[in-house]
DNA sequence: CAGTATCCCCGATGATACTG
DNA sequence: CAGTATCATCGGGGATACTG
């Protein structure tokens, strides 16, 4: 049960629960280049809804990955930025990114081959 | 990094769609040590249901991350093993694992601090 | 043993509307 | 601009039962 690196309470599982959703990874990636305002993040991460953006941003702040800075001006200006911890996390995430760029074509090829194999075209 | 790596068609997004669910990461991790039988994988990855295990295994085979070997014996014996591509993927995944082990306590602390801050209990 | 087939539920996500 | 609030949906995933 416990003690096994794959059981429910291990750090890896917990991290996975956090970064498991692609939004987190994408947001952290988007912020690597520097702070961004709420709307800017939303634009970089295409397809994310406002609600989910808000939720994800908030939980990343909660986890110490991002800092939120609200400037008391009108209209409101809020910026999100990676913390040192966040920048730290960005590194392994970047490795994944590199892997994707280097190997996704292999995955695509494997997928096509598998589908061909399992799709009796000449039925 | 290239132009805008965050749009829907970029390799990163595609990879995330695959490894986004924690099961994939856990299964690949479990197989790093060597081939495992269906049931063995299920035991290593606690909490996964048989259905999801089957589904995840199948899609990993489809993507060329794993190979499935069925021995024609009774009772059936099926083994799953990382392909070279899979072993390749295991590396960046391992980085994430290391990060988790080294930093999850910081995340936990940040989380507690945030919650305390946002819990108007004491005043 | 290693799956496949079903039913079912819940919670994450999207769409929409409103506000400081 | 940067959120919050509410509702409806959709399907991933669990539990269970059956099979080669």
Task: Tell me the H-state helices in A1-123.
Answer: 11-19, 22-30, 38-44, 50-62, 84-117
For chain A, the average pLDDT equals 89
pLDDT tens-digit readout, A33-50: 999 999 999 999 988 999
Across the interface, whether the CB atoms of B15 and A109 are under 8 A apart is answered no
Closest CB to A46 among B6, B21, B106: B6
Q: How far apart are CA A82 and CA A65, in angstroms?
A: 6
Question: Under CATH, what is the fold of the domain B11-118?
Answer: Arc Repressor Mutant, subunit A (1.10.10)
Restricting to A residues 2-21, those with a Cβ less than 8 Å away from any Cβ of B are 4-8, 11-21
Chain A contact for B85 (CB, 8 A cutoff): yes
State which residue of chain B sits closest to A95, comparing Cα positions: B92
Name the DSSP class of B34.
S
A50 touches strand C (CB under 7 A): yes
Q: What residues have CB less than 8 Å from A117, skipping those under 6 apart?
A: none
Q: How far apart are CA A26 and CA B18, in angstroms?
A: 14
Name the DSSP class of B31.
G
Query: What does the pLDDT read at residue A66?
Result: 97
| Domains of chain A, residue spans | 11-118
| pTM for this entry | 0.89
Q: How far apart are CA B28 and CA A20, in angstroms?
A: 15
How many alpha carbons lie under 13 Å from residue B7 in its C-beta half-sphere?
A: 4
pLDDT tens-digit readout, B27-49: 999 999 999 999 999 999 988 99
């Amino acid at each position: 049960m416990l003690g096994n690196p794959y059981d429910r309470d291990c750090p890896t599982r917990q991290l996975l629960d956090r970064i498991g959703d692609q939004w987190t990874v994408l947001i952290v990636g988007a912020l690597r280049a520097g702070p961004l305002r709420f709307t800017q993040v939303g634009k970089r991460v295409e397809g994310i809804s406002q609600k989910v953006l808000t939720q994800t941003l908030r939980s990343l702040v909660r986890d110490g990955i991002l800092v939120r800075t609200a400037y008391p001006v009108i209209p409101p200006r809020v910026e999100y930025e990676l913390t040192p911890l966040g920048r730290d996390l960005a590194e392994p995430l970047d490795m994944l990114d590199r892997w994707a760029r280097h190997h996704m074509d292999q995955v695509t090829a494997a997928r096509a081959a598998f589908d061909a194999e399992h799709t009796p075209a000449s039925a």
